[in-house]
Amino acid sequence: MKQKIKVGTEGDFITSSNVHNVYGRLFAKLLVGYFQESDIPPVIIEIGGGNGRFAKHLLEEVKCLDEALYGQMKYIMVETSSYHISMQKYSIPDTAPVSYYTSLNDVPKSLRKGVLFSNELFDALPVHIVEYTNGALMEVFVTLNEDGKLSEKSIRMVNEDILSYISRNKLTFVEGQRMEIPLTMVDYAKILGEWLLAGTIITVDYGYRFSELASPELVGGSLRGYYQHHLIKNPLKYPTEMDLTSHIHLDALEDSFRDSGFNHVGTFRQGEFLVAAGILEYLQENQDPNPFSEKSKQNRAIRTLIMDSSWSNSFHVLIHEKGTNTWDKLIGFDHNKKR
């Protein structure tokens, strides 16, 4: 919520949509096909749109691909930060079909069918921290120490909602293990699933399967900070100045949307999703030795977004739809590799 740049070279972290406009252009091509193939009205609702670059690039491409569809389109920005709204309005032309809201509750009911998109939304929501110590499950809280500094304090588990989440999902712990319990994610997914009456929910985020949580590298949990592009393992180090994040529980998010009547089309590594969606078609014939030419930058961005070793491939793309059966027509996914 602070009045400062968070994303990009001047901020604390980078997102896929800030790598190059090809990211937004590819999603534009997909959504144009989706609206053409289905009877869902051309409404896009983006939750937490940051600096607005994704919306800007997507809308520019939609206008090039299908000007008639663009003329009917409504793009809804739902953003709680007044600073980010000001950035979005600066980035996106006034002539674009964009409306700005600070809450889903303010969006007219007539716009509750369409495509709901979010990028790194759920990883930024609050989590509970639990730790298994000396054979007992503890919840880790934040308090002030004698010097007035933020510090941790563990109390034996009493939160019934956390215990229910652990039991429902059959989570087990090893001695000393920490884990984030994303109750807010589950609650907000339910809100989104009930709010969107028909259409598609596209979620881009990073996370783990329940089966992966017992791996040695996750014993300490995934709660981290990002400060000026450096990973900070102590989330209390720069209070109010640092981006905090934790990996989402993919299984729980999928189940939450299913409970709201959505069909789970698939969960894909971002790289494989982008390739299946046709990002390689955007590679440019390029003999230009200048690494800063537009063709060179676009080709480099595509490699960054799809390479197995890239940070981009730590992201997943989750697709859920209700009232339509369109995505399998748009992209020829191998259903055996969805998960």
pLDDT by residue (tens digit) across 148-190? 999 999 999 999 999 999 999 999 999 999 999 999 999 999 9
Residue 183 φ/ψ, nearest 5 degrees: -65, -35
Give the three-state DSSP class for 239: coil
Give me the sign of the Cα torsion angle 60, 61, 62, 67: positive
Chain center to CA of 151: 29
Lowest mean pLDDT among 30-34, 140-144, 214-218, 276-280: 276-280
Which pLDDT band, with edges at 50, 70 and 90, does 143 fall under? very high
CA atoms within 13 A on the CB side of 59: 25
Domains in the chain: ranges and CATH: 16-125+182-206+247-337 (3.40.50.12710), 128-180+217-242 (no CATH)
pLDDT for 40-90, tens place per residue?
999 999 999 989 999 999 999 999 999 999 999 999 999 999 999 999 999
190 contacts: CB under 8 Å, gap ≥ 6: 256, 259, 260
Q: What is the pLDDT of residue 11?
A: 56
Which pLDDT band, with edges at 50, 70 and 90, does 335 fall under? very low
35 contacts: CB under 8 Å, gap ≥ 6: 41, 42, 69
Q: Which helix (H) or strand (E) holds 208?
A: strand 207-208
Q: Helices 294-306 and 22-37 meet at what angle, rounded to 10? A: 70
pLDDT for 6-19, tens place per residue?
555 655 445 655 65
* Tokens encoding 246: 């934790």
